[in-house]
Amino acid sequence: MYNRNLAGKQLNLTDPYLSYPKYVREMLHNSWAEYFFNSIFSHIDEERFSLLYSDNYSRPNAPVNIMIGLLTLKELNQWSDEELIGAFYFDYRVQYALGISDFNKERICINTIGNFRKRLYQYYEACGRDLLEEEIAALTDALIELSGMDTSLARQDSMMISANCKKMGRLELIYTVNNNVVELLKEHAENQVPETCQHYLSEKDKANQIYRLKKEEVTAKTEQLLKEALELYEKVPVELGHTEAYQTLSRLIEEQIGDDGNTPKEAKEISPDSLQNPHEPEATYRKKGNKPYTGYVMNFVEARDNDKKMSMIVNYQLEPNIISDQKLGLNALEKDLKGAKTLVSGGTYYSLDMVEKAAEKSIDLSYSALVGRPSPEGKLGADQFEIDTETELIVACPGGAKPLTAVRNREKEYFQAKFDKKDCAACSLSGSCIFKEQKKFNTVIITDKKLGVDHYKSLLGTEEHQILVDFRAGAEGIPSVLRRVYGLDNIPVRGLKRSRIWGHFKLMVHNFKSFYSYFKRTGKDPLSLSCFFRLLSRWFGFRQQQACYGC
């Protein structure tokens, strides 16, 4: 049963705070615990998570704000679950940060933490709604408003993240999937295990089947294992068709066997999004910079206030690593970027769809470089032609000549204009113009994509562009921080949705650290007068319902 926990604190007579000398209290108020309570814990919306619990009268849930606060502190200090529970009971700063003074009411164990993560995942899996993502976005809003941070300038980058699974070769993958099905049949329908697959039940079968093979035996062994996979597929009873082992076997056969239903596919015919490990079916394979990766890709958008020297990650995506930067960039623009007006990206993010979406949201795009075939040297860019914004027709060439006819084809996404040959012959720019000479006219055809690319290429090298390029370079340090400090490559769970949940807490901590560092560096107090009264009410056991912000 859902039970709300008020984010206020009423001191009892035995609270250690009352016995601390004044200078210790001052240290506590200046520590991360005070900032955490006022900027994170007090703004957690518990009602959002009421959907995770039953409406029926039953044992009340562990307080949601304490669960989220604990899991955030876990990432802040890089604690294990055991260390987190120890800190919860023995570190007063943790208790203070979570507004706890009575442990008779707040009893937390490791299973409580694990069960809360499980609820988040199960709801996400069943309903497709990531409640934690919504909460982290709201908490980021609170940090931005409390600090008065300017979020108009943002930059984005992507990074590869290794899946928490063993990298398997093709033989080991097929063998493991087959073995899982044999284990399933052994438990539920042992008489259905084919005679040719009895060897899977032997203790040292895997070593004999895979690890002791000679190179010239690999092809024949692959064919044998796939043949056994087809036999097992036919033997699985209908009532076991819903099991993960059977579903994985079905996927393996579809991805590994050719259209004839018998012959193994060549390695180059197997899709990068094919099964990489049966224990992490969502992980995909990709080569980036000639380095192979199995796992996911994380894209982030970081808003940066250069005057305050603070940053916030305002958008975060974790997807299979075969998703392109173009798609990730477009997805980012679909989200709330917290007031970003200029977004600087790498050249791999450029797409016409992204340009159009940014224009809809009044966001200026800038690219540090542009990939693709270079324009012919000495030729004019397509953006030098004058196009009427209302009629969407070419109305003049770079030399000022008017076209005889002009056409805009939106379906095929191109502009066309025909010019008088006499005008072109008299033009000083004719040698660098992009027209094609025809029998009667000189014709210019400009695709939407080329127009956009040439527009951004014309900005390269300008002083303003170089400033943005230098700004964009700062985003490349974030992957290193997320890997070294927060262990993003070593998330101890498997699966895309579970990994996203862990990632949310890591990025929340990244934002809180930036927020806390700013106020400690500047010596400013993030609490306004209204927050001061809220702090007073905290000690006397009252809670103002509305959030208060200010700097």
Which domain covers residue 324, as residue numbers?
A: 290-373+460-484
Question: What mean pLDDT value characterizes the chain?
Answer: 87
Between the CA of residue 353 and those of 278, 330, 333, 449, what are the distances in Å?
35, 7, 10, 10
> 131-147 and 496-522 helices cross at what angle (nearest 10)?
10
Rounded to 5°, the CA angle 114-242-272 comes to: 80
426 assigned to some structural domain = yes
Structure letter (DSSP) for residue 427: -
Q: How many domains does the chain have?
A: 4
490 assigned to some structural domain = no
3-class secondary-structure state, position 437? strand
Determine the pLDDT at residue 502.
94
Question: Which residue spans within 30-73 are E strands per DSSP?
Answer: none
Q: Are residues 328 and 431 in the same domain?
A: no
Q: Are residues 355 and 472 in the same domain?
A: yes
Q: How far is 403 from 430, CA to CA, in rounded Å? A: 14
Q: Are residues 25 and 118 in the same domain?
A: yes
Q: Are residues 225 and 369 in the same domain?
A: no
Q: Are residues 141 and 175 in the same domain?
A: no
- Over residues 59-110, the pLDDT tens digits come to 788 889 999 999 999 999 999 999 999 999 999 999 989 988 766 566 788 9
Q: How confident is the model at residue 539 (pLDDT cuts 50, 70, 90)?
A: very low
Averaged pLDDT for residues 360-364: 93
Cβ count within 10 A of residue 466: 12
Q: Are residues 195 and 304 in the same domain?
A: no
Read off the CATH number of the domain in which 294 is found: 3.30.420
200 assigned to some structural domain = yes
Tokens at 193, concatenated: 């295990």
CA 287 to chain CA centroid, Å, is 19
Determine the pLDDT at residue 11.
62
- Over residues 242-266, the pLDDT tens digits come to 999 999 999 999 999 988 888 899 9
Determine the pLDDT at residue 340.
95
Between the CA of residue 321 and those of 140, 273, 506, what are the distances in Å?
26, 9, 20
Averaged pLDDT for residues 531-548: 43
Q: Are residues 174 and 33 in the same domain?
A: no
6 assigned to some structural domain = no
User: Which of 69, 81, 84 lies closest to 32, judged by CA?
Assistant: 69
Determine the pLDDT at residue 10.
58
- Over residues 208-243, the pLDDT tens digits come to 888 888 888 888 999 999 999 999 999 999 999 999
Tokens at 276, concatenated: 């990489």
Q: How far is 311 from 33, CA to CA, in rounded Å? A: 20
Q: Are residues 351 and 391 in the same domain?
A: no
455 assigned to some structural domain = no
User: Which of 132, 84, 92 lies closest to 110, judged by CA?
Assistant: 84
Of 9 and 134, more confident: 134
Specify the DSSP element, H or E, that contains 24.
helix 22-29
Q: How far is 263 from 115, CA to CA, in rounded Å? A: 45
Q: How confident is the model at residue 123 (pLDDT cuts 50, 70, 90)?
A: very high
- By the 8 A CB rule, do 435 and 419 touch? yes
Determine the pLDDT at residue 105.
61
pLDDT at 541 over 50: no
Final residue before a domain boundary, out of 223, 252, 275: 275
Specify the DSSP element, H or E, that contains 163.
none
453 assigned to some structural domain = no
pTM: 0.82
Q: Are residues 469 and 333 in the same domain?
A: yes
Q: How far is 196 from 206, CA to CA, in rounded Å? A: 15
Q: Are residues 315 and 353 in the same domain?
A: yes
- Over residues 466-495, the pLDDT tens digits come to 899 899 999 989 999 999 998 888 888 999
493 assigned to some structural domain = no
492 assigned to some structural domain = no
Q: Are residues 136 and 203 in the same domain?
A: no
Q: How far is 467 from 451, CA to CA, in rounded Å? A: 24
Q: Are residues 297 and 176 in the same domain?
A: no
Determine the pLDDT at residue 526.
66
